[in-house]
Amino acid sequence: MNLAGQEAAQGFYLSQMEVAMIDFGLPGEAKTDVLYDVIILGAGSAGLTAAIYASRSLLKTLVIDPAPAGGLALTTEIIENYPGFPDGIMGPQLMASFRRQAERFQAEIIEITPVMAVRLSGQEKEVVTDRGTFRSKAVIIATGRRYKEIGVKGEDEYKGKGVSYCATCDAPLFRGKDVAVVAGGSSGIQESLRLLKFVNSVILVGFPPRQTADPVLLEKMKEQKNITLLFHHRLLEIYGERTVKGVKIEDLETGTVQDIKVDGVFIFASLTPNSELFDEIEKDSRGFILAEERTLTTNLPGVYVAGDVRSKILRQIATAVGDGALAVHGVKRYLHELEKEKHR
């Protein structure tokens, strides 16, 4: 299965090569004929933390993810701002530890399992997948974010033919070549630095002078000799033949359009929430799920949200971990109330 092209994977862009390099194990054997206490949608930092807290509390717990467990952190080569690892830790290594801890407490994790539909308004929740329909008393939505398409001419045409949204996945395919990167913020810098280990050169387009990037990452980027920064520019078009051959870039100050030959385009312009499935759930104007801050409950009873898909100020692994723990606290209180109602 080529996961890089699996858009239904809700934001996880891993190539077949990358999947082969990581031992994820086989999908679990979750059962459709049982009622789980909680189903967690998404196996990133928030989802796996929720799985640890829920299963350790002896809740029958199922985690479902359309891609290999680990979320966007799985595509991060080195994580330097997660407490406890003064020298940093590889993203796949950290996520593998999260998963092992959840499975130690008997959480069931099934991955590479797309979710086609959810029914969350009733007291019994249903999650419809290509492996059957799973039922639970409560649900935690931890589906995270994905890189967003920017809609320029040629982007869709050359997707998978030189246009990529994941340096970790596809950088080896561009070894020794010249690429353009559309990016901003820390995530864009991280991906660009990762690309520089493989490619001949990087042209970074649209990188604003005033931005929110981590200063440490910014300094690392400025130390590189084979990166060109095009401030106040925007990508107009991606063109090619069978594959990408070049880009057209406009200088926003002068209006001048440059034609630059490149072999690939990596787009890390912005991240969008994986929330399309949840029509009944209240969201903000950008599609992030709204929740009550103290309990992370949504507008539907028994449905909670955690991690990057939630409407909040800061999205980091550390905040996702906190969300996962807090969401389970809400689930436990909800299940306790259900039990009390049953015995009245």
pLDDT by residue for the chain (344 residues), tens only, comes to 333 333 333 333 333 333 333 444 434 467 788 999 999 999 999 999 999 999 999 999 999 999 889 888 887 777 888 999 999 898 899 999 999 999 999 999 999 999 999 999 999 999 999 999 999 999 999 999 988 888 999 999 999 899 998 887 788 889 999 999 998 667 677 778 889 889 999 998 875 554 556 777 777 877 888 988 887 899 999 999 999 999 999 999 999 999 999 999 999 877 889 999 999 999 999 999 999 999 999 999 999 999 999 999 988 999 999 999 999 999 999 999 998 888 77
3-state helix, strand, coil in the chain (%, to 5): 30, 25, 45
Alpha carbons within 13 angstroms on the beta-carbon side of residue 124 total: 6
Note whether 66 and 136 are same-domain residues. Answer: yes
Query: Under a CB-based contact definition with an 8 Å cutoff, are residues 235 and 158 in contact?
Result: no
Query: Under a CB-based contact definition with an 8 Å cutoff, are residues 70 and 95 in contact?
Result: yes
Note whether 154 and 243 are same-domain residues. Answer: yes
Note whether 218 and 164 are same-domain residues. Answer: yes
Note whether 83 and 125 are same-domain residues. Answer: yes
Residue ranges making up the domain that contains 126:
3-146+272-342
Show which of 269, 289, 311 is a domain's final residue: 269
Note whether 133 and 27 are same-domain residues. Answer: yes
Q: How many structural domains are present in the chain?
A: 2
**What length is written for the chain?**
344
Note whether 33 and 84 are same-domain residues. Answer: yes
Note whether 249 and 310 are same-domain residues. Answer: no
Show which of 244, 269, 294 is a domain's final residue: 269
**CA-to-CA distance for 118 and 130, rounded, in angstroms?**
12
Note whether 141 and 32 are same-domain residues. Answer: yes
Show which of 269, 291, 307 is a domain's final residue: 269
Note whether 223 and 287 are same-domain residues. Answer: no
The bridge status of strand 35-41 relative to strand 61-64 is: parallel
Note whether 153 and 260 are same-domain residues. Answer: yes
Note whether 293 and 206 are same-domain residues. Answer: no
Note whether 26 and 142 are same-domain residues. Answer: yes
Q: The domain that contains 179 carries what CATH number?
A: 3.50.50.60
Residue showing tokens 């869709």:
156
Three-state secondary-structure class, residue 259: strand
